[in-house]
């Protein structure tokens, strides 16, 4: 069996700097200099060139409402005293006019993150203070941002930074970084089992579990879930790279020449397949874990109005029986990423007052989790991802092991009542 391999944040970035923005940096009525201030420490990742250096950069504004603005531009790094040899160097960082529409989305106190990518380009990210995006980035890059304008700067050593698993890839995707890793050591095994076609998600999930040894869903359900999700994603990207690569070699042509519409349709199918498989894989692996713990459940059964919760405990029969107390029923939604889709879970089972939602999304903001609590939703977060949440949030969160204990206890009470 091939070896299971992990990636690291240093596979994508050489280093990064993060700081709070000031009014003079983002408010065009205060300054037209197009300059980020207090950046002397960026010498650690941008160097000390004798002459002006221009870095290509992608600029991104991201906020918790799903609003994103992007632009391609550049950052200029230079010693403004280079013509005064008697004075010590003083480096300034200017952003290009093309990026002003992105930078001016920010307000004083918002966060600026400048990342140096492996190809030498920069990625410049701005996001609102205290939001989910900021918390996710602070978890991914492992920083605690100062409340003043001074930047924190860090170089990433080889095989350094956070391990890039499923949750980290979710954030990198938001940053427009293609982080889907492959493992060519599994390709022969994949082709031997599936050829050059995609199997059903259920079959592929089972293959992923069987090809990852030393994982115990009974002893460590949280770790098993994350390991299986990460491994299946890597195997899927490996097979996808092979299958899509063969299709691209053929090209997209029709009788009139290049088939642009055909290419776009194929690209959309690739993207939609990725999105659909992630959610289905999460349910598949959860189902296997519940079976390992002898937990009774129904998957995808109907409740009122043809709603279909992902899981009903102890089952659909009990849910529809007026003789079973609602307190003995549990509803679990499973979403690889949460965003605003958590509200959907609230409508899926009228008999159950408090719904549960398991997600692999790290670092959801305190404002949003407070809204979830007020709406009667309990988050279930795998144990290893809970450090992306604040201490007060962690006191409220359940991990998968906690959730299994909860439904097992209700299952015992249901049997005692019957």
How many whole angstroms separate alpha carbon 71 and alpha carbon 98? Answer: 7
Nearest alpha carbon to residue 402 among 367, 351, 341, 358: 358
Pick the catalytic residue: 95, 297, 319, 389? 319
3-state secondary structure labels for all residues of 278-339: HHHHHHHHHHHHHHHCCCCCEECCCCHHHCCCCEEECCHHHHCCCCCCHHHCEEEEEECCCH
95 is catalytic: no
Contact by Cβ (8 Å): 70, 61: yes
Helical H segments across 38-112, by residue range: 43-46, 100-103
Nearest alpha carbon to residue 110 among 127, 125, 123, 124: 127
How many whole angstroms separate alpha carbon 308 and alpha carbon 305? Answer: 9
Nearest alpha carbon to residue 21 among 79, 105, 137, 133: 105
User: 92 φ, ψ to 5°?
Assistant: -125, 155
Q: How many angstroms separate the first and last alpha carbons of the chain?
A: 47
CA distances from 88 to 45, 153, 189 (A): 19, 21, 60
- Cβ neighbours for 136, distance < 8 A, ≥ 6 positions apart: 171, 174, 362, 363, 388
According to DSSP, the β-strands at 13-20 and 7-8 are unpaired
User: 145 φ, ψ to 5°?
Assistant: -80, 135
How does DSSP assign 114-155, residue by residue? Answer: EEEETTS-EEEEEE-TTSHHHHHHHHHHT----SSSPPEEEE
Active-site residues, by number, are: 319
């Amino acid at each position: 069996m091939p070896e299971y391999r992990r990636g690291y944040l240093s596979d994508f970035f050489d280093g990064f700097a993060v700081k709070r923005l000031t009014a003079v940096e983002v408010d065009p009525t205060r300054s037209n200099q197009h300059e980020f201030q207090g950046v002397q420490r960026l010498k650690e990742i941008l160097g000390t060139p004798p002459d002006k250096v221009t870095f290509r950069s992608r600029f991104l504004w991201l906020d918790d409402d799903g609003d994103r603005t992007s632009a391609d531009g550049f950052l200029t790094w230079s010693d403004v005293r280079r013509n005064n040899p008697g004075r010590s160097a003083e480096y300034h960082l200017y952003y290009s006019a093309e990026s002003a529409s992105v930078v001016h989305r920010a307000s004083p106190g918002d966060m600026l993150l400048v990342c140096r990518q492996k190809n030498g380009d920069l990625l410049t990210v701005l996001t609102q203070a205290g939001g989910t995006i900021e918390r996710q980035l602070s978890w991914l890059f492992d920083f605690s941002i100062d409340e003043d304008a001074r930047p924190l700067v860090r170089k990433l050593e080889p095989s350094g930074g956070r391990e890039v698993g499923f949750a980290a890839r979710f954030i990198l995707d938001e940053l427009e970084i293609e982080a889907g890793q492959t493992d060519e050591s599994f390709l022969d095994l994949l082709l031997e089992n599936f050829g050059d076609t995609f199997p059903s998600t259920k079959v592929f999930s089972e293959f992923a579990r069987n090809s990852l040894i030393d994982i115990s869903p009974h002893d460590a359900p949280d770790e098993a879930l994350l390991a299986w999700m990460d491994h299946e994603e890597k195997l899927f990207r490996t097979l996808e790279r092979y299958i899509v690569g063969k299709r691209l070699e053929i090209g997209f042509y029709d009788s009139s020449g290049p088939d642009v519409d055909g290419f776009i349709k194929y690209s959309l199918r690739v993207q939609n397949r990725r999105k659909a498989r992630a959610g289905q894989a999460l349910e598949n692996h959860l189902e296997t874990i519940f079976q390992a713990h002898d937990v009774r459940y129904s998957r995808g059964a109907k409740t009122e109005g043809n709603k279909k919760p992902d899981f009903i405990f102890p089952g659909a029969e009990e849910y529809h029986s007026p003789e079973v107390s609602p307190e003995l029923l549990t509803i679990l939604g499973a979403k690889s990423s949460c965003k605003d889709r958590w509200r959907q879970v609230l409508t899926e089972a009228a008999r159950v007052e408090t719904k549960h939602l398991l997600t692999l999304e790290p670092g959801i903001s305190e404002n949003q989790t407070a809204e979830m609590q007020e709406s009667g939703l309990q988050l279930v977060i795998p144990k290893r991802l809970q450090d992306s949440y604040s201490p007060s949030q962690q006191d409220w969160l359940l991990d998968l092991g906690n959730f299994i204990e909860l439904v097992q206890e209700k299952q015992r009470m249901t049997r005692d009542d019957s």
